[in-house]
Structures are given as C-alpha cells and as structure tokens.
C-alpha cells in the first residue's frame, strides 16, 4: 500500500510497448519508411497525454525522463527565459523535493524564492499568495495535490490570482495525475508536470504541458528534439507506454476513483476509530482518492512500518528515519504538526490492486502494533502536554 | 536495511519495561528528534542486577536499547561504563550509516543511568 513509491506497469501498457523495442525500433527523427511506425506511435501517445488533461493541442506536450526533469525544466527553464522581467518565484511549503530544490538552486543564481504557508489541511494560503505576488514575480509553482497528506489545492482560484499579476503558473500534478480529472484550460494552468509511472505507465518517462505562448530555456542542448526543448533521442517504447497508460487512466478514472475513495475512507475509519490518540493528516474529503495519512501519538513511524512489513504490508512514514535526512517530512511540519507528531505519521497510497480485504487486514493489525509500541514508549500524554 | 539481529531485537525486545524502584534512571534524546530512550538500573554490590528500557523511536533505536540491556546485565558499573555506541552497533551486526548517530543512543542512556546512580549514592553519603 505504498503506490506513491512505485506502481506496477499495467499489462496492457507493457503489451503496447513491446513492439517498439523488438520490431519497430526506428528513430522517430529518421526520414525513412522504417521509422514511420515509431514516429506515428510516438505522436499518437502525445495526443493521448494531451487529451487526458484537455490540452489545446498535442504539441503542447513535451516528453521528458520523468516528473523531476519536468519540474526542473518548467522552473529553471521559465526563470532563465524571463529573468529580465523579474526574479521572484513563489511556491508552497508542501512541494515535492524536485520543486523545492530547483527553487532553492535558483536563489544562488540571483532569484528570490518565497515558500508560501499552508493551513492545517495543507491548503495554500491564498491570502499570502496575494500578498507576496509582486510585479517582479515571474513564476508561481504549486503542487496539484500532495502525495503525503493528499490535499488537493484549489488550482483554478490560484490561477486567477497568479494571472491577475501576469505571472506564470506551473503545477506539479505527479501525485494527482490519472486519479483526478485535470483540465489545463479550464483550470488556467501554464505548465503542468505529469508522470507516467504514477498512472501505471513505465518509470523513466514524464511530460511537461506547455501552454502556447509560454517560453522556456531548455535544460538539455543537443539535436533539438521536442521542439528544441528536450534534446536526445526519444524514449519511444516508454513514451508509447505512457500514452497507453494515459488512455487507460482516462477510461477508468471515474470508476476507479469511486472505488478508491470507498476503500480510502474505510481504511481511515478503521485506522482511527478503535485507537485513542489517532488522527487524520490532511483534509477529510478534499484529498486524493488513494491517500491515507494518519498519525498516532507517542510512537514513531519507522517502528510502525517495520511492524507492518513483518506482516507483509508496505507503507511509508513521515519520519526522518526512513529517509536520508534526519528531519521529519517538511510537508507534515508545514501543516503545523509538531516534530513528534510528524514522526508518528503513517501513509498508505492505495492502488488498483488493493482490495477491501487488504484494507481490513491492515485495520486488524494496527491496534496491536500501536499497543505494543506504546507499551515500549517512554512518552505519555503528560509529557506531550495533551 | 537491517541485520537479522536488529530485527530479532526489534521483534522480541529484551528487558523492555520500567523498574519503579530503580537505583538509577537515564534518559537521552527527545521526541522532537524522533528518538528518545530511558534506561532503568537496579544495582547490587556494584553490579547491574536488573536493567530495563523504554524507547520511542525507529527500529534501530529499539534494537540498540534492547541490546545494551542484554550486554550490561550482570556487569560491574565500571565494565558497563566501557560499553560504547560502537560496541552496541557491532553486537547487532552493524547499523545503516544514517542510524549510527541519530538512533544509536542506548549506550549514552546506560551511562546516564549509571551517573544518576552514582549521584544518588553521593547524596546518601552526605
């Protein structure tokens, strides 16, 4: 139940990809007939990805090596292109590291980055967005929905504010794409990051939607593929797989989301109700269909993960100990949680394969795990002033 | 990620609990960092007769706490003071590098408990 970390590739996707590794291996940039098949399939994939987000045309989509590259291309590419107009960039306190770090990097190159606060649910403070959005602001980059707390941001409202000051809006939809309907035209998005694996496509492929008229400096210079924005021979099989995954996501989104929401809410209820001092992270309803994020006082996330792992359940935690850094999740801290509360957080990201029986199994394990770890813990309500 | 030995101590922690009438108590770390442990000792004739721990933290924090109690039980206070973070980690077959500093506090908690005991002894003599 840790699908944010990795999803299996849909078998229909694998099937669609195989010919472009075995038989139709032509380079789409080549002129001869042999390459026609890969060129066609490649452009068809572009059309399918464009359709998923209601882009105005297929050429608004640029394929990349994944969401990290798309985020880097959008942020650094736009900043470098428009630096004469302004050097101020706004983002939120609940972004993925592939947005946080390019923004921080730009501060070493003469740009100024402001991390806007969020409320207890993880919603961006529109008030501070309005306050910080100056004429010098060229870019606002906001996550569509956060994978750790699941909160879906009010992108349309954000867009109206951003465009009121003639800044560009980049949205990182990595955790959301394929789960909730995204409409770049209706929501007013200038740049949108998409990831293939997050919709059951292969890893190592992503896309960036670029609204017509939005200009970027490329990160990679070379043969000029992807309208000069992303040089390098195209990953045809991967892109074809991404296209297939987008097609399936579009077809199944409504029914699968309904199923996931039921499963999500069943799991949340079961994880919280029988256990005292147990709380939900994020918003109860405005959250990704697959996101379950809870916290238990007095115990630590990794020891919960290990206990679940021993029972065959994969999850993730908000604690430092699972990561390379020692700080707990910056996203959880941004929602106002104390360090010890962030350390005690547990996240499940559900996927197509997860069933009600599995959710019930996790629910049946949790009280025992929490009880055992609490018995071991020196912390009590008194120490934490509860 | 963890050795079998670490997982064994995580699953079946030795000497977990409290000693209500302990002769020395040592607490190190804090919940903000994600690791906190308390060690209780009962001393008889300069030896650690009984020892228990309580830990808030990751798998490594639990396993090092459990291991340090196992090593220290029955040792003289001088011997117990010689137990180091490194020797606890070695006894567990090693720890992931990131855990060596943040979660390997058990030896420090033991030393704090012994120091607490010594302090109490001095106060009694006064």
Q: Are residues A245 and A192 located together in one domain of the fold?
A: yes
Is residue A312 a part of any domain in this protein? Answer: yes
Which residue out of A300, A307, A379 would a mutagenesis test of the B interface target, given it has the greatest number of B Cβ atoms within 10 Å? A300
Question: Domain with A187 in it: what CATH number?
Answer: 3.40.640.10
The partner residue sitting opposite B13, judged by closest CB among A300, A326, A376, is A376
The partner residue sitting opposite A378, judged by closest CB among B32, B55, B103, is B55
- How far apart CA A70 and CA A49 sit, in angstroms, is 14
- Give the distance from residue B95's alpha carbon to the nearest chain A alpha carbon, in angstroms: 12
CB contact, 8 Å: B55 with chain A? yes
Q: Are residues A71 and A109 located together in one domain of the fold?
A: yes
Sheet holding A168-172, edge to edge: A61-64, A206-210, A191-195, A168-172, A137-143, A88-92, A112-116
pLDDT score at B34: 80
| Prediction ipTM score | 0.88
Question: Domain with A287 in it: what CATH number?
Answer: 3.90.1150.10
Question: Does the active-site annotation cover B102?
Answer: yes
What is the mean pLDDT of each successive set of 10 residues along chain A, which is 386 residues long? 84 89 73 75 94 96 97 98 96 95 97 97 97 97 94 97 97 95 97 96 96 96 93 92 96 96 97 96 96 94 92 80 64 89 91 94 96 91 65
**Domain end point (choices A219, A249, A279):** A249
CB contact, 8 Å: A333 with chain B? no
Is residue A280 a part of any domain in this protein? Answer: yes
Sequence-distant (6+) residues with CB within 8 A of A230 are A62, A63, A64, A73, A218, A219, A220
Is residue A336 a part of any domain in this protein? Answer: yes
Residue listed under structure tokens 């090693």? B94
Sequence-distant (6+) residues with CB within 8 A of A370 are A275, A278, A296, A299, A304
Q: Which of the 8 DSSP states describes residue B104? A: -
- Give the distance from residue B32's alpha carbon to the nearest chain A alpha carbon, in angstroms: 5
CA atoms within 13 A on the CB side of A320: 22
pLDDT score at A52: 97
Q: What is the pLDDT of residues B83-109, one digit of tens each?
A: 998 888 889 998 888 787 666 789 999
Using CA atoms in the order A153, A154, A158, A160, what is the torsion angle rounded to 10 degrees?
Answer: 160
Instruction: Copy the structure tokens of residue B18.
Output: 């409290």
What's the predicted TM-score (pTM) here?
0.89
CB contact, 8 Å: A126 with chain B? no
Residue listed under structure tokens 């070695």? B90
Query: How many CB pairs below 8 A link A and B?
Result: 76
pLDDT score at A324: 54
Is residue A94 a part of any domain in this protein? Answer: yes
Q: Are residues A109 and A32 located together in one domain of the fold?
A: yes
Helix or strand holding residue B70 (H, E): helix B59-72
Helices (H) and strands (E) in chain B, counts: 6, 3
Q: Are residues A299 and A271 located together in one domain of the fold?
A: yes
Is residue A147 a part of any domain in this protein? Answer: yes
CB contact, 8 Å: A385 with chain B? no
Is residue A66 a part of any domain in this protein? Answer: yes
B4-125 has CATH 3.90.1010.10 classification: yes
Is residue A345 a part of any domain in this protein? Answer: yes
Q: What is the total count of domains within chain A?
A: 2
Residues B7, B19, B25, B102: which is the catalytic one? B102
CA dist list (Å): B9 to A320, A323, A339, A379, B89 = 21, 22, 26, 20, 12
Q: Are residues A60 and A154 located together in one domain of the fold?
A: yes
Adjacent-strand bridge partners of B56: B36
**Domain end point (choices A200, A215, A249):** A249
pLDDT score at A273: 96
Is residue A99 a part of any domain in this protein? Answer: yes
Domain borders along chain B are 4-125
CB contact, 8 Å: B36 with chain A? yes
- How far apart CA A73 and CA A220 sit, in angstroms, is 9
Q: Are residues A179 and A316 located together in one domain of the fold?
A: no
Q: What count of other Cβ atoms lies within 10 Å of the Cβ of residue A222?
A: 11
pLDDT score at B103: 67
Helix or strand holding residue B39 (H, E): strand B35-44
* Domain membership of residue A195 as a residue range: 11-249
Residues B1, B33, B86, B98: which is the catalytic one? B33
pLDDT score at A7: 86
* Residue ranges, chain B, pLDDT below 70: 101-103
**Domain end point (choices A214, A234, A249):** A249
Q: Are residues A274 and A290 located together in one domain of the fold?
A: yes
pLDDT score at A27: 75
Cβ distance of A300 and B58 shorter than 8 Å: yes
pLDDT score at A384: 59
Q: Are residues A264 and A335 located together in one domain of the fold?
A: yes
């Amino acid at each position: 139940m840790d699908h944010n970390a990795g999803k299996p590739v849909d078998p229909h996707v694998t099937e669609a990809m195989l010919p472009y590794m075995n038989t139709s291996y032509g380079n789409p940039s080549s002129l001869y007939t042999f390459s026609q098949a890969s060129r066609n399939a490649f452009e068809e994939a572009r059309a399918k990805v464009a359709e998923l987000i209601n882009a105005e045309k297929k050429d608004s989509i640029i394929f990349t090596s994944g969401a990290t590259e798309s985020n880097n291309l959008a942020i650094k590419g736009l900043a470098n292109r428009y630096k004469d107009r302004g050097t101020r960039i706004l983002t939120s306190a609940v972004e993925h590291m592939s947005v946080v770090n390019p923004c921080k990097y730009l501060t070493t190159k003469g740009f100024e980055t402001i991390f806007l606060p969020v409320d207890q649910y993880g919603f961006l403070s529109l008030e501070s967005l309005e306050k910080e959005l100056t004429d010098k602001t060229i870019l606002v980059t906001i996550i569509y929905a956060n994978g750790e707390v699941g909160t879906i941001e009010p992108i349309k409202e954000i867009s109206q504010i951003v465009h009121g000051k003639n800044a560009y809006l980049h949205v990182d939809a990595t955790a959301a794409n394929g789960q909730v309907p995204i409409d770049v035209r209706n929501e007013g998005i200038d740049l949108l990051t998409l990831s293939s694996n997050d919709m059951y496509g292969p890893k190592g492929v992503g896309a960036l939607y670029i609204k017509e008229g939005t200009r970027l400096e490329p990160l990679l210079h070379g043969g000029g593929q992807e309208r000069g924005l992303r040089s390098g021979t195209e990953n045809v099989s991967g892109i074809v797989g991404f296209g297939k995954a987008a097609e399936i996501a579009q077809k199944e989104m409504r029914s699968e989301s309904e199923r996931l929401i039921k499963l999500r809410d069943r799991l949340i209820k079961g994880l919280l109700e029988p256990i005292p001092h147990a709380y939900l992270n994020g918003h109860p309803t405005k959250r990704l269909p697959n996101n379950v994020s809870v916290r238990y006082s007095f115990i630590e996330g990794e020891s919960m993960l290990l206990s679940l792992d021993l029972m065959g359940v994969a999850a993730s935690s908000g604690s430092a100990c699972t990561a390379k850094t020692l700080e707990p999740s910056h996203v959880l801290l941004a929602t106002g949680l104390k360090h010890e509360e962030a350390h005690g957080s547990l996240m499940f990201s559900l996927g197509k394969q997860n069933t009600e029986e599995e959710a019930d199994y996790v629910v049946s394990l949790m009280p025992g795990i929490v009880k055992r770890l609490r018995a071991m813990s020196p912390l009590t309500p008194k120490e934490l002033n509860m | 990620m963890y050795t079998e030995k670490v997982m064994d101590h995580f699953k079946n922690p030795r000497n977990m609990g409290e000693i209500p009438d302990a002769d020395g108590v040592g607490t190190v770390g804090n919940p903000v960092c994600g690791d906190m442990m308390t060690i209780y000792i009962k001393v008889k004739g300069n030896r650690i007769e009984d020892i228990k721990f309580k830990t808030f933290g990751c798998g490594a924090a639990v396993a090092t706490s459990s291991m340090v109690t196992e090593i220290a039980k029955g040792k003289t206070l001088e011997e117990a003071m010689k137990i180091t973070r490194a020797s606890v980690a070695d006894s567990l077959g090693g720890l992931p590098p990131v855990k060596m500093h943040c979660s390997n506090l058990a030896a420090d908690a033991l030393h704090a408990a012994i120091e607490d005991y010594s302090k109490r002894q001095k106060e009694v003599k006064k």
